[in-house]
């Protein structure tokens, strides 16, 4: 972890996540009846809860729309959920205005080209290990873990560590 990432992480007040390929492994599972299911990593979910407990707002902006993501966001207590939106920078503009935050106070974790405008604009724009090459090249940092395999947890812990809150977040469970 570089000192640049830690420096960028100090100012973060909002962490934003893509879903497919970030909170999931990127695979799409369709059943015969047309319904869809996804698998989520519990370590990622706990990391998101740790961030929220430390006072960092969280949001999901996804290009796809599915009830499974709505259920996951509700289970985690993520209040800001935007689905079916490829125009992620436009969505983020509105959210920042609503929350009274600046781009420098935002961290974003993505994996593919629709995430790139946000990754390049925010204070801490990161890609998961298995993100598209072009996205990894333009991100401030890349997680060691792959999407759906703990990348979001790693991202959350980086922010908490940068803000000197990781030990307290872990100690809350002792």
The least confident of 2-16, 28-42, 90-104 is: 28-42
Residue 157 in this model has a pLDDT that exceeds 80: yes
The tally of CA atoms less than 13 A away on the side-chain side of residue 103 is 13
pLDDT of 43 reads: 97
Q: How far apart are CA 149 and CA 97, in angstroms?
A: 32
Residue 1 in this model has a pLDDT that exceeds 70: no
Q: How far apart are CA 133 and CA 164, in angstroms?
A: 31
Q: What is the pTM of this model?
A: 0.96
Residue with tokens 């599915």: 66
Could you write out the DSSP letters of every residue in 97-165?
Answer: HHHT--GGGEEEEE-SGGGHHHHHHSSEEEE-TTS-HHHHHHSSEE-SSPTTTTHHHHHHHHHHHHTT-
Reported as a single tens digit per residue, the pLDDT across 10-37 is: 999 999 999 999 999 999 888 899 888 8
């Amino acid at each position: 972890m570089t000192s640049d990432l830690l420096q960028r992480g100090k100012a973060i007040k909002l962490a934003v996540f893509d879903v497919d390929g970030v909170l999931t492994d990127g695979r799409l599972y369709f059943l015969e009846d047309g319904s869809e299911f996804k698998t989520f990593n519990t370590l990622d979910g706990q990391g998101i809860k740790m961030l929220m407990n430390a006072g960092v707002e969280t949001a999901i902006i996804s290009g796809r729309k599915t009830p499974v993501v709505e259920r996951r966001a509700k289970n985690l207590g993520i209040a800001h959920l935007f689905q079916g939106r490829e125009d992620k920078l436009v969505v983020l503009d509105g959210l920042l205005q609503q929350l009274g935050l600046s781009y420098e106070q935002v961290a974003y974790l993505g994996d593919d080209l629709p995430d790139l405008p946000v990754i390049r604009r925010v204070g801490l724009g990161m890609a998961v290990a298995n993100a598209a090459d072009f996205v990894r090249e333009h991100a401030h940092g890349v997680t060691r873990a792959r999407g759906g395999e703990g990348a979001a947890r790693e991202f959350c812990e980086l922010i908490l560590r940068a803000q000197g809150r990781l030990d307290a977040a872990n100690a809350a469970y002792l």
